[in-house]
Structure 1
Amino acid sequence: MIIDTHLHLIDRSALRYPWLAGVPALNRDFSYEEYATEAKRAGVERVLHMEVDVDPADIEAETARVEGLSRQAGSMLSGTIASCRPEDADFAVYLERQRTNPFVKGFRRVLHVVPDDLSEGALFRDNIKRLGGTGLTFDLVVLPHQIPKAIALAELAPDVQFVLDHCGVPDIKGGAEHPWREHMSEIARRPNVMAKISGVVAYADAANWTVDTLRPYVEHTINSFGWDRVVWGSDWPVCTLGGGLSTWVAATHALLSGCSVSERDRLLSGNARKLWRLK
């Protein structure tokens, strides 16, 4: 069984995505139906939606839309990681509204597209601390040079469970392992951080990557965090930039070919089920 912890859905008729104008390859609709057809063939059985950095005014509408899709017969959608703005004064009120909705499993604020000092603000940090004891996770999406900023948040809020997306977004196309490698080893020392093995094909050379191209990055992430602190995600449709969902699933199985059944099961489904209390 595969639980995909990182699905993006894009519906430009219903929501606004300011960033899409700068990424022509993704500037179209990506529907649940399109994803589900391929995902079921690839062995995915359940999925968490990941916020898509919609216009701030559309944040709660995005959650409502995805929750509506989850109610359709046969839907694989089991929850959402919702967008948030911890830098805003009304975050506490927003958090209380979301806590009443069991479909919301956690939050994410995209940090690699904002100034580095955003996460260092007193209000941002106080609001991240509010997640402690709620059972709601916080996904971290940062570039390699920003991982120390993520470490600072993890240390500031030891009662919050963080999830580092996309193996720390390494520059696989450029073959760069430093300082990414050292930063990954360091952040993994924080017990309240898990890593997401998700969509790294998007960071490789789309025309030339092989499983061995990805291996140093995926294996270092798993070795750093251990098999109990990793989850899997597709990052669809971003993964289409490097070959697509089925290609990424196939590469994942190849990367796990020497692992035990227990290790494989923990990465592909068991850890996600436990972390987000998926039945």
Structure 2
Amino acid sequence: MRIDAHQHFWNYRPDTHAWINDDMHLIQRNFLPQDLQPELERHQLDGSILVQVDQNEEENLFFIELAQQNPFIKGTVGWVDLRADNIEERLAFYKSYPVLKGFRHIVQAETDPYFLQNPAFRRGIAALGKAGYTYDILIYPHQLPAAIELVQAFPDQTFVLDHLAKPYIKQGELDQWASFIEHLAEMPNVHCKVSGMVTEANWKNWEFRNFRPFLDKVTEAFGTKRLLYGSDWPVCLVAASYANVIGICEAYFDSFSAEEKKDVMGRNAVRVYGL
């Protein structure tokens, strides 16, 4: 099964989606299943993982409804306040919806450098593990040390690093990020999405060679058993088409074995998210 492990849908609202600024005007509109399905079919993908955008629980129910109506959505990653006193109760509620596979928080937007060490947040991570949910890590490179501490504290929790931790591809800054990635990948419970790279490059003037050093590092660190292809569609559209994005991944792994390609392009996502 070939899976896009990271894509989004939304009904666009300027107030709710203020992060979509005027530089990103191409995606200042609604994006829904009928927009993505032709791309998946064109590139022979069997389905996708629909990932959180808004930090509210209403979006979880919206995603669940979309998944019920569109069988190509194989799983969803939602949001819940992991710091809430009633976190166990909220997670028990979502067990009624098996299409919801995990949760994430937009940690990259948090200004508190100790957010991932917050005792209430860590209590929520512990609750995720007990309930059998994954946790997607969405951070910037400077937050990698805190993420390393987090995954070391929860060796039995399944973590998925989104977008390679958004390395500074445009600036070509590799060394410090690479060192942190090596340490993070030492924990076998962490996986990494090969996603979100084009938006960290020069949107108007990127080349395949810009991505190779970063792909080399995550492949060396995580191995092909812990990498998951993701498009980050429609966010990627500000810098590249869907064909461009999947083309980068397929071109990089072209010389790998057939089994390794199957792992990266879907089999790992099936296993990690329990599709």
CA distance in 2, matches of 1:12, 1:206: 22
Partner of 2:154: 157
Deviation, structure 1 residue 265:
0.5
Following TM superposition, by how much is the alpha carbon of 1:195 offset from its aligned partner in structure 2, in angstroms?
A: 0.7
Q: Please, which runs of 5 or more residues in structure 1 have no aligned partner?
A: none
1:142 aligns with 2:142: no
2:98 maps to which residue? 102
Cα separation, 2, equivalents of 1:237 and 1:84: 23
Higher RCO (C-alpha 8 Å, min separation 6): 2
Quick one: distance in 1 between partners of 2:23 and 2:107? 18
Alignment of 1:88-237 (within 5 A): 88-115=84-111, 116-237=113-234
CA distance in 1, matches of 2:130, 2:38: 37
Per-residue Cα deviation, 1:6-48 (whole angstroms, up to 9, x for no partner): 11101136x9435335764333211211111222212221111
TM-score (structure 1 length as normaliser): 0.91
SS at structure 2 position matched to 1:139: strand
For residues 256 and 21 of structure 1, the distance between their equivalents in structure 2, rounded to whole angstroms, comes to: 33
- Identity, in percent, stands at 29
Please, which moves more after superposition, 16-25 or 170-179?
16-25
Structure 1 position 214, deviation (Å): 0.7
Which residue identity is paired with 1:3?
Answer: I
2:49 alignment partner in structure 1: 48
Q: What one-letter code is carried by the residue in structure 2 that aligns with 1:200?
A: M
Find the counterpart in structure 1 of residue 249 from structure 2: 252
- Is 1:268 the counterpart of 2:265 in the alignment? yes
RMSD of Structure 2 on Structure 1 (CA): 1.8
How many residues were matched structurally?
272
- The aligned residue for residue 28 of structure 2 is 27
How do 1:236-247 residues align onto structure 2 when only pairs under 5 Å count? 236-247=233-244
TM-score by length of 2: 0.93
Cα distance in 2 for residues equivalent to 1:96 and 1:23:
40
Partner secondary structure for residue 107 of structure 1: strand
Shift of 1:235: 0.5
Deviates more, 1:36-45 or 1:187-196: 36-45
Q: List structure 1 runs of 4+ shifted beyond 6 angstroms.
A: none
State the distance in 1 between where 2:20 and 2:238 align.
14
**SS where residue 48 of structure 1 aligns?**
strand
Letter in 1 for 2:142: H
- In 1, the alpha carbon distance for the partners of 2:241 and 2:146 equals 30
8 A contact 1:236–1:245 mirrored in 2: yes
Cα gap change, 1:104/1:28 in structure 2, threshold over 3 Å: closer, same or farther? same
Contact 1:164 1:195 in 2 (8 A): yes
Contact 1:133–1:159 (Cα < 8 Å) also in 2: no
Partners of 1:206 and 1:75 lie apart in 2 by 32
CA contact (8 A) 2:64 2:97 kept: no
CA contact (8 A) 1:143 1:170 kept: yes
Q: In structure 2, how many angstroms separate the alpha carbons of the residues matched to 1:133 and 1:271?
A: 22
> Which residue in 2 is equivalent to 1:81?
77
Q: Is the 8 A contact 1:39 1:246 kept in 2?
A: no
Q: Is contact 1:144-1:168 (8 Å) kept?
A: yes
How far, CA to CA, are the matches of 2:164 and 2:255 in structure 1?
20
